[in-house]
A and B are shown apart, each in its own frame.
Chain A
Amino acid sequence: MRLLSKKDSKLITDPLADNNPITIQVLGICSALAITAELKASLVMGVAVLFVLGIGNVVISLMRNIIPSKIRIIVQLIVVAALVIIVDQVLKAFAYELSKTLSVFVGLIITNCIIMGRFEAFALGNGPWKSFLDGIGNALGYAVILVIVGFFRELLGSGTLFGVPVLGDPIEKSGVYSIGYENNGFMLMPPMALIIVGLIIWVQRSRNKALIED
C-alpha cells in the first residue's frame, strides 16, 4: 500500500516549485529575507515554520466547522500565536544564541502571510490529513528558498557554511583566497537578499515559461 495517494503527494510537491509560496504566491517574504545571512538561521526558521504551519493547519482544519466566519481571523491569529510561543520558548531553552540572532523574527512567524494564507485558502475547506500535507508542502517550499538564499549569502559573504570555513582562511590567504578572492561583505547586507530572490525568480521563470507575468 502506498503511503500517499497521487493527489496527496501532489499537495507536497506542488509548493516546492511550480506553486512556491515565496516566488509564485508572494507570501511570507519578510522573514525570508531578514534572517538569511546565515545558513543555520535560515534552516532553523524553515523548521520553525514547518512546525507551526503543519500543526496549525491541522488545528484549524479540525475547528473549521465551529469557527464563526466573522471572527475567524482572530481565532487563526490566536492559534498561530500559541504555537509560535512554543517555538520561541523551545529556542530560548535549547539554542539561546540562535534565538538572539533571530530576535523578533520568531515572533513575526505569527504574521507570516504563508500561514494565514494557507489557513484561509486550504485548512478552512479541507480535512485534517490533507491540511497537514498541504502545510508541510508549503513550509518546505518556503524552507527551500530560505536555504538557497542563506547558502549563497553565507558562502559569498563570509566564506563559510554553517559557520565552517569552506573557501579557506581569509587571514592566512589559504584556499581560494590565495588566488586573490575576497569575501563580498555586501552579501551580508539586507538588500542583497532581495536581489538574490529576484534572481531566483528570474531563473525559475525562464525555466518555466508558463509562470511569466505579462
Chain B
Amino acid sequence: MIEHIELFFKSIFIDNMVFAVFLGMCSYLAVSKKVATAVGLGAAVIFVLAITVPLNWLLDQYLLQPGALSWLGAEYADYDLSFLSFIMFIATIATMVQLVEIVVEKFSPALYNSLGIFLPLIAVNCAILGGSLFMQSREIESLGLAFNYGVSSGIGWFLAILAIAAIREKIRYSNVPAPLRGLGITFIITGLMGIGFLSFGGMLTGGEDGAVTTEPTAKVEQAKTEKAKELADNTKTVE
C-alpha cells in the first residue's frame, strides 16, 4: 500500500511530466490558452495514460523484456525483443487512441464534440509515449503500480496545463514586453513553475534522517570558529 501512495505523490509532484522531464510540451503550449480546453485535453491525457501504461506493461513483461518469452517454452527463454519496444508501444498507443475515439463518439457525443480535435492529437503527445518508456526504464513491478503510475502522471500533467492556462488567461492584462508576449513569457513562467516544483523533491525523504540535519550544523559551527580565528589573526596583523 505504502509504495502505491509513494508512487502516486512522486509522479504527480516530484517527477511531474511537464516540470521535471518536459513531456507533452507541444500540446501543453498549444492548448493552454483557455482553461476550458486545457481541462478537456488534460482529462483525455489522464484517460489514455491510464489505459496505455498498464497495457504496455503487459506487453513489456510477457513479450519484450529479455527472457519475457519464457512462458512459451524453455527454448525461447533467451530471446530479447526489447529493441522492438518503440514500435510496439506506439502501435498500442495509436490503436488505443483510435479505439477511445470510436467509443467516446458512440456513447458520449457531447464529450466527443468537446474533445474532438484533441483526441487524435494525443497519439503524438510525448507524455503518453514517455509514460510507457519511463514505466519500462524504471522497472515498475506490478500491473497495479503501472496503472497507478499512468493515472498519477496523467494527473500531474493535468495540473500543469490547468495552472498555465489559468496564468495565461490572466497575463493578458499585464504589461509584458512586446517581443516576449505569448510564447516567450509562457516559456519563462513554465521555467519558474518548474523551479517551484523542484522544491517538492524533498517531500518523500524529509523528516526521516535526523542524522543528516545535525551534521551540517556541526560544520557551520566549525566554520564559524574558523572565521572567528581568521578575524582575530587579521586584527592582530593590522595591529
- A residues contacting B by CB (< 8 A) are 23, 26-31, 33-34, 73-74, 77-78, 81-82, 84-85, 88-89, 103-104, 107-108, 110-113, 116, 189-195, 197-199, 201-206, 209, 211-214
Asked whether A104 and B130 contact (CB < 8 A) given A73-B123, A77-B94, A205-B179, the answer is yes
Asked whether A214 and B90 contact (CB < 8 A) given A33-B25, A191-B194, the answer is no
B185 beta carbon closer than 8 Å to chain A: yes
- Mostly, the A contact residues are helix
B72 beta carbon closer than 8 Å to chain A: no
Closest to B193 in A: A191
Q: Which residues of chain A are within 8 angstroms of B211 by Cβ–Cβ distance? A: none
A73 near B83 with CB under 8 A, answer no
B1 beta carbon closer than 8 Å to chain A: no
Q: Which of A110, A203, A205 contacts B86 (CB 8 A)?
A: A110
B198 near A104 with CB under 8 A, answer no
- B residues contacting A by CB (< 8 A) are 19-26, 29-30, 83-87, 90-91, 94-95, 98, 120, 123-126, 128-130, 133-134, 137, 177-188, 190-195, 198
Q: What total of A-B pairs shows CB separation below 8 Å?
A: 145
Q: Apart from A30-B26, A191-B191, what are 6 other A-B pairs with CB-CB below 8 Å?
A: A26-B183, A29-B26, A29-B29, A30-B23, A107-B85, A204-B179
A195 near B187 with CB under 8 A, answer yes
Closest CB pairs A-B (n = 9): A191-B194, A213-B182, A194-B191, A198-B187, A205-B179, A195-B191, A29-B25, A198-B188, A104-B133
Q: Which residues of chain A are within 8 angstroms of B30 by Cβ–Cβ distance? A: 26
Asked whether A213 and B129 contact (CB < 8 A) given A73-B94, A73-B120, the answer is no
B183 near A192 with CB under 8 A, answer no
A85 near B86 with CB under 8 A, answer yes
Q: Which residues of chain A are within 8 angstroms of B120 by Cβ–Cβ distance? A: 73
Shortest beta-carbon distance, A53 to chain B, in Å?
Answer: 14
Q: Which residues of chain B are within 8 angstroms of A113 by Cβ–Cβ distance? A: 26, 124, 126
B183 near A77 with CB under 8 A, answer no
B125 near A111 with CB under 8 A, answer yes
Asked whether A73 and B124 contact (CB < 8 A) given A89-B83, A197-B187, the answer is yes
Shortest beta-carbon distance, B1 to chain A, in Å?
Answer: 28
Q: Which residues of chain A are within 8 angstroms of B178 by Cβ–Cβ distance? A: 205, 212
CA distance A193 to B192 in the complex (A): 11
A205 near B184 with CB under 8 A, answer yes
CA distance A193 to B190 in the complex (A): 10
CA distance A211 to B85 in the complex (A): 40
Q: Which residues of chain A are within 8 angstroms of B130 by Cβ–Cβ distance? A: 30, 104, 108, 111
B180 near A198 with CB under 8 A, answer yes
Shortest beta-carbon distance, B232 to chain A, in Å?
Answer: 24
Asked whether A28 and B26 contact (CB < 8 A) given A85-B86, A110-B129, A189-B198, the answer is yes
Q: Which of A73, A107, A214 contacts B133 (CB 8 A)?
A: A107
Q: Which of B22, B180, B185, B190 contacts A34 (CB 8 A)?
A: B22
Q: Which residues of chain B are within 8 angstroms of A190 by Cβ–Cβ distance? A: 19-22, 194
Closest to B188 in A: A198
Asked whether A212 and B181 contact (CB < 8 A) given A108-B130, A197-B187, A198-B187, the answer is yes
